Structure 1
Amino acid sequence: MDFKTALTGLYLRDPAGTLPNALWKTLAMLDGMETSTDVRGGEVVHLEARKGMGLYVYWDSNGVPPDIGGLNFVLLHERLAGALDLEEFYVERYFRLVHRGAALEEPFLPVGFSFSEVDVLAEASKVADFINLCYEDINASSSEVGSWTLSPAFDRSLWLWILEGDEPVALGIADLDRSIGEGSLEWIQVHPSYRGMGLGKAMVFELLRRLQSLAVFTTVSGELDNRTNPEALYRRCGFEGNDVWLVLRRRE
């Protein structure tokens, strides 16, 4: 069993516990990585993928933590980090949740608001500007937004605005990996002046509705220690799970 096959099998069984992101993103990074696979009796025992001084995939059936000495960057499930000394690393924590077709509410928008598909090529700059407006620490460019359309999981029907009249007040972007039936919510933003109106919830339900006949499951992740508490929004929309992933960057 090769690395890609082993990783895909684990991911389909437990997406949120196997990787911190959609499967296609990791598979797209594998070229040039040093991978190791341990399979016994048809069962995966150990997987890891490294590049340079970074560890990008680590999975161990016995819960044995990795040796992170000499590494500058590590992606690791929290369950494997308990015995590690992380004092030399900056630690970022991310939740990872899965939606498996729980009953969906009908998306509700106030009077005067409507969904509209993004004109992806013509509105790349507008999308970048809107993302930057909603975050204090992100500076997306129109070329970066345009590059997202080149991914194997791009689906233009999953790029949506919520408009008040003709003005965008919320943005939602999801991906669809048809090879395994995975939907993934990538961006859910509401204009700062329109928060607290239920627009984020409406956007999530509308994207899930569009994915319902196409995806076997849908994943989402986000910062765990975020003052806007995005995890609560996704749980209200039927996402479940308790997986937490760590991004470790060595202190200089």
Structure 2
Amino acid sequence: MISIEEYKQNPCEALSIPYWKATDIIIPDNVKIIHNKNFDETLLEKYSDKQYFRLIHRLNCIPDFSNNDFTYKMLSKEKTNEVADMINASYSHTDVFVSADYIKGLTETKVYFPELWIGAFDNNKLVGSIICDLDTKIGEGVIEWLQVLPDYRGKGIAPVLVCKALNILKLNADFVTVSGECDNITNPERVYRKCGFTGNDIWHILTKH
């Protein structure tokens, strides 16, 4: 395991996941996680490949997005069922599924920071949300989940959620990281770059055939 200082120099190239997760994770024997700089096409003979981008925000320039059509407020722990339902509806085009117990579990981790759970509401309907972690030991903010219901996409909700979280993190962290599937049809990378995230790090999650 690399040191904290080594990680902080270039987080997105150093590890495929946030430091706090890397200290606990156990990688299965049939899985390899390789940075693009070390990737070799011959690996595809034995492994299937999923590619993930990893980006960083240094919190020195946060765009000012506004959207007066919706209300944005902190999500309480009592909203775990609603958040789980909304995530699942937002990812209906994939095999992603989260339970209410999983969402509740996120509130019980050492990186839970209530102000970084933000919902977008159309009247009283939850139509989008962002869930972020804060690792105070590293000074790292992490965007874990960002989603908007399909019928509400294209209305500017996602960048508002991201930048609201970034403005909170600016007061509590040194940098923020995020990762996501490269081939996601909703193209979340575009939203993050619009909000000031940078980098070109790609990680390959290789699973043995």
Superposition misfits of 4+ residues, deviation over 6 angstroms: none
SS at structure 2 position matched to 1:245: strand
Return the offset for 1:165: 1.1
Matched, 1:118 2:70: no
Matched, 1:133 2:89: yes
In structure 2, the CA distance between the partners of 1:131 and 1:83, relative to structure 1 (3 Å rule), is closer
Counterpart selection for 1:24 from 4, 20, 23: 20
**Residue pairs, 1:60-99, within 5 angstroms:** 72-82=30-40, 84-99=42-57
For the aligned residue pairs, the C-alpha RMSD in angstroms reads: 1.4
Return the offset for 1:102: 3.2
Which residue in the other structure is 1:244 paired with?
202
Structure with the bigger RCO (C-alpha within 8 Å, sep 6+) is 2
Residues 4-58 of structure 1: per-residue CA shift (max 9 Å, x gap): xx332221111000111111011123xxx6xxxxxxxxxxxxxxxxx562xxxxx
Aligned residues: 207
Name whichever of 136-145 and 210-219 sits farther off. Answer: 136-145
Return the offset for 1:82: 2.7
* Structure 1, gaps ≥5 residues long: 34-50, 54-71
Return the offset for 1:229: 1.0
What is the CA–CA distance in structure 2 between the aligned matches of 1:102 and 1:239, rounded to whole Å?
Answer: 11
Is the 2:113–2:133 Cα contact (8 Å) retained in structure 1?
yes
Counterpart selection for 1:166 from 124, 131, 155: 124
Which residue in the other structure is 1:227 paired with?
185
- Judging by fraction of residues, say which structure has more helix: 2
SS at structure 1 position matched to 2:185: coil
* Structure 2, gaps ≥5 residues long: none
Matched, 1:214 2:169: no
Return the offset for 1:83: 6.3
Letter in 2 for 1:11: Y
Letter in 1 for 2:60: A
**Residue pairs, 1:187-198, within 5 angstroms:** 187-198=145-156
Between the aligned residues of both structures, percent identity stands at 34
Matched, 1:11 2:13: no
> Normalising by the residue count of structure 1, what TM-score does the alignment of the two structures yield?
0.79
Return the offset for 1:86: 2.1
